Amino acid sequence: MQFRKKDIFTIPNILTYIRILLVPVFVLVYTNSRSLSGHIWAIAIVAISALTDIVDGIIARKYNMITDLGKIIDPIADKAMQFAMIFCVVVRYRLIWILFAIYAVKELVSLAFSSYLFKHGKHIEGANWAGKLCTVVLYAVMLALIAIPKIPDRIVKIMIAVSAAFMILAFIVYMSAYIRLLIELKNEQKQISGK
């Protein structure tokens, strides 16, 4: 990994900084909303965050502006908004604690594996299909819960179950990728020590 000063001010990274700054704005707007317009503003903030995520990825790939800094801060911005949405919605829907717990375990375990592998020069290249699908489902569920403050409990339970299933699927897919990288790393270390 190489961090260069000029990478700080690339357009994709600036868009990622904006996404990070939108997280506390979303929390403030959502927790202080007392009407439908407040909920609409909260959804608009999440939509702007999602749009900047898409645009920064397109620009980074099209204009070869992919940086090591961006590889670190982009997922941080994603996880911060996801965490903020789950945390805010848990106040209104108690069952979201289940989703919050699954999300926390998934992210903490992934962080532990990716940090260890990163120290040894290994990492998963980009998000995989399961991670993207999990994110889309999570955003859809969270936006529905934010937009419609009085969803019947039965529907909320179904939405939580669906989102939890996709989180668990993403976790399994990522864990298999981490395990493959660990095996690859161990084999490389054996070859080096055997020479």
Average pLDDT over residues 62-68: 90
Q: Determine the average pLDDT of the residues in 88-103.
A: 89
- Residue 92 in this model has a pLDDT that exceeds 90: no
- Mean pLDDT value of segment 48-73: 90
Mean pLDDT throughout 86-93? Answer: 88
- pLDDT over 90 at 91, yes or no: no
- Residue-wise pLDDT tens digits, 6-35: 888 999 999 999 999 999 999 999 999 888
Contact yes or no for 40/144 (Cβ under 8 A): no
pLDDT given at position 1: 61
Chain length of the chain: 195
Instruction: Map residue 125 onto helix, strand or coil.
Output: coil
Which pTM does this prediction carry? 0.83
Q: What's the DSSP call for residue 94?
A: T
In the chain, where the domains are located: 1-91, 94-195
